[in-house]
Chain A
Amino acid sequence: MNVYDLIFYLFAAITILSAFFVVTTRNIVYSAYYLLFTFFGVAGIYVLLGADFIAMVQLIVYVGGILILLLFGVMLTNKITNVDIKSGTIHTVPATIGVALFAGIILASMWNTNWKNVNSDMQVASTQHLGFLLIHQYALVFELLGILLLIALIGAASMARK
C-alpha cells in the first residue's frame, strides 16, 4: 500500500461520502455545498489518472460555473421569507431498493470483468497533447461545441427573461 493508493482512497472517500450527503440531506443549500466536495474529490481522481488539464477544467467549470448556477437556481426558486428551502422526497424505499439492486449488478460486473489493463504510465503533461488533438483531429467537434455554447447562451437568456 503506497502513497498513490492512500491518496486514491482519500479522494474516493471524499467523493462518495459527500455525494451520499448530496442525495440525502434535506436542506437543498447544504446539498449544493456538499456537491462542491464531490467535485473536488472527482478532480483529485482525475489527477490520479494523469489528467491534470481535465482536473483544472473540472474545478473551473463545475465549481466556478455550474455550482454557482445551481445555487442561483436554489435561491431564485425558493421562498426565502417563508423558510421553504427544505426539499421533500418521494418513493424513497422503492427507489433505494431499485438503485441498490442496480448498483449491485453493475458493481459485480465491473469488478469481475477482465478488462484490458495495460496501465500506460501517462506521466506527461496532458495540456499540449489535448490542444494538439483539439485543433487537428477534433477541430470540427471543437467548432460545433463553440456554436452550441453560443446557442445555449442565447437560448437561456431569452428563455429566462420572458
Chain B
Amino acid sequence: MIHVGLNHFLVVSTILFSLGILGIVSRKNAVMVLMGIELILNSANINFIAFAKFGNFGFQGQIMALFVIILAAAEAAIALAIVLNIYKTFSTVNVDEIDTLKD
C-alpha cells in the first residue's frame, strides 16, 4: 500500500469535480445545478489546500480557500434569489423548460 501523499488528495478532488460536472449537465432542477457548483468549488478548495501543504507554500493556499468559501456563500444567496424569481415567473425551475427571456 502506498503512503497517502499529494496524489491521493488530487484524485479525490478530481472525482468530486467530475461528479459536480455530471450533476450540472444531467440534472434538470436549477437547485440541483447549484449543488453541482458547490461540489466543484469544494474540489477546487481541496486542491488549493493540498498544494499549500505539499508544495510548502505556507498559508497562502488556505487563504485562497477561505476566499473561495466566502464567494460561494455570496453566490448561493444570489443564485437562490434568481431561482425564486424564475419560479415566480415560469412556475417551474427545470432549466430545460426556461427558454424565453421576455414574458
Binding site for B on A (CB under 8 A): 1, 4-5, 8-9, 12, 15-16, 19-20, 22-23, 28, 31-32, 35, 38-39, 42, 45-46, 49-51, 53-54, 57-58, 61-62, 65-66, 69-70, 72-74, 76-78, 87-92, 95-96, 98-100, 102-103, 106-107, 110-111, 115-120, 122, 126, 129-130, 133-134, 138, 141, 145, 148-149, 152-153, 155-157, 159-160, 162
- Confirm or deny: B98 has a beta carbon within 8 angstroms of a beta carbon on chain A: no
Binding site for A on B (CB under 8 A): 1, 3-12, 14-23, 25-32, 34-36, 38-39, 42, 45-46, 49-56, 58-60, 62-63, 65-67, 69-78, 80-85, 87, 93-94, 96
How far apart sit A20 and B27, CA to CA, in the bound complex (Å)?
13
| Known contacts A122-B53, A162-B85; A77 and B25 CB within 8 A of each other | no
| Known contacts A19-B39, A66-B76; A110 and B16 CB within 8 A of each other | no
**Nearest opposing residue in chain A for B15, CB measure:** A16
A130 adjacent to B54 (CB under 8 Å): no
Q: Which residues of B contact A95 (CB under 8 A)?
A: 22, 25-26
